[in-house]
Amino acid sequence: MNRREFVTATAATMATAAVAATAKSYAQILGANDRVNFAVAGLNGRGYAHLAAILDNSPRAHMAFCCDVDSRILDKFAAKASSVLGYAPTAVGDFRRALDSKDVDAITIATPEHWHTPMAILGLKAGKNVYVEKPSSHNCREGELLIAAQKKYGHCVQVGDQQRSSEHTIKIIGDIHAGLIGRAYAARSWYSNTRKSMGKGKPAPVPANLDWELWQGPAPRAAYKDNIHPYNWHWLIPYGTGETLNNGTHEVDICRWALDAGYPSRVYACGARYHFDDDWQFADTVTTTFDYKDKQITWECNSSNGMKQYNRDRGSVILGTNGSVLLDRGGYEVYDNNGKLIDQFSNNTHADTHDAVSRDKMTANHFANFMDGIRSGAPLHSPIQIAAVSVAMLLLSNISIQMGRSLTLDSSTGHILNDAEAMKHWGRSYEKGWEPTV
């Protein structure tokens, strides 16, 4: 065989091999430059929604790592991920191993809330893009730090207010802004659930499967109790932010979006732990009013009583000069000023407040938008600069309850005016060496 025959034969062989490649492998090769490699941190609840969103966005999305400080939770999740994805992400107990990997483009954070901002900032410093579940911060100061870190390091930070990526919500909010109900001037939001008592915890040995030191991370050190992990940390001040931030962030964010509102001029909240006598440190029953000069938002929470409003566990109603819109994750209804139904839409889903995972199309869409932001610079639906306002408003609701009085705010920054005692709660103390810094 002469040289020309050899080259021709080799080229033909290579072409035949290329044609024989499966469509699946070709799609993986084709999408390599567009693919986002994720590390998912915090796997007990919303981590499974992140898994579903990555699966729904495959092959553009790939899970390189999964991370959790509880080895039992980690092993269970890793097995599930391997089963549904068809490949095995690297499972690690310390998320910092994922941050050290050059193969990771983005970290998603579904950990306890005291870790949200510190982990997000560490991710940005490591050159990663960040998807952080709401609330994006445990306190108002952390929101400012995370905004500053995003600006400094320049990577995307998307907050998990996934209804911002709901197709019907985007449409109806656009219609409201276009004058569908005249001038929108008030919004009412609510949430109800039938959460049980967390009891009164007893000191207990740290389970062998749990890295309690890393679990606490930035939080001041405390002895382990048997009613904290893996979920009841939500109701404890050192680690969580209560139902107001756990779920109110979603509903108030929709109200703020609909009214095109920033920080209010005044926050007044009242509430307490009424339903049970236990270790729960936040209010289970809350009513909050956010006052603006020309509009108003209210938030009502019944965490341990399942009484619905408008036959819904959660949602919001937007009031305008020419009508109203009733809106939730399942659709919307439009009413005229006399309460007559004039339009409606349903996606045939029901927002179940008992579902702590909340796998849904909205989350998949939110991940897709996040990836578009990373790869093409597309505007994020819930960037930290926007989402932090909604988070801070609900954190201020908690402060108002704690102080037992209304708070007057600087509507440009959200800072509390003329109340130094209340302003002490703007930030928190950290375990030495774990303080988040930009």
5-9, 22-26, 392-396: segment of lowest average pLDDT:
22-26
| pLDDT value at 222 more than 60 | yes
Let me know if residue 250 belongs to a domain: yes
Let me know if residue 336 belongs to a domain: yes
Let me know if residue 358 belongs to a domain: no
Asked if 322 and 405 sit in the same domain, the reply is yes
Asked if 61 and 191 sit in the same domain, the reply is no
Let me know if residue 367 belongs to a domain: no
Helices (H), 230-347: 242-246, 248-259
Let me know if residue 369 belongs to a domain: no
Asked if 236 and 347 sit in the same domain, the reply is yes
Last residue of a domain, one of 136, 163, 190: 163
Asked if 57 and 174 sit in the same domain, the reply is no
Last residue of a domain, one of 143, 163, 183: 163
Let me know if residue 361 belongs to a domain: no
Domain of residue 280: give its range: 168-353+384-426
Asked if 212 and 155 sit in the same domain, the reply is no
Asked if 193 and 71 sit in the same domain, the reply is no
Asked if 206 and 99 sit in the same domain, the reply is no
DSSP 305: E
> If we measure between CA atoms, which residue out of 134, 108, 116 comes closest to residue 51?
108
| pLDDT value at 438 more than 80 | yes
Residue 17's pLDDT band, with cuts at 50, 70 and 90, is very low
| pLDDT value at 371 more than 60 | yes
CATH of the domain at 348: 3.30.360.10
Residue 360's pLDDT band, with cuts at 50, 70 and 90, is confident
Last residue of a domain, one of 148, 163, 178: 163
In the chain, the number of structural domains is 2
Let me know if residue 340 belongs to a domain: yes
Asked if 192 and 147 sit in the same domain, the reply is no
Entry pTM: 0.91
CB 405 within 8 A of CB 418: no
Asked if 184 and 127 sit in the same domain, the reply is no
Question: What is the Cα–Cα distance from 346 to 367, expressed in whole angstroms?
Answer: 23
Cα of 327 vs its chain's centroid, Å: 19
Asked if 153 and 69 sit in the same domain, the reply is yes
CATH of the domain at 117: 3.40.50.720
Let me know if residue 371 belongs to a domain: no
Residue 349's pLDDT band, with cuts at 50, 70 and 90, is confident
Question: What is the Cα–Cα distance from 243 to 356, expressed in whole angstroms?
Answer: 12
| pLDDT value at 7 more than 70 | no
Average pLDDT over residues 215-236: 98
Asked if 316 and 401 sit in the same domain, the reply is yes
Asked if 194 and 59 sit in the same domain, the reply is no
At 47-91, the pLDDT tens digits run: 999 999 999 999 999 999 999 999 999 999 999 999 999 999 999
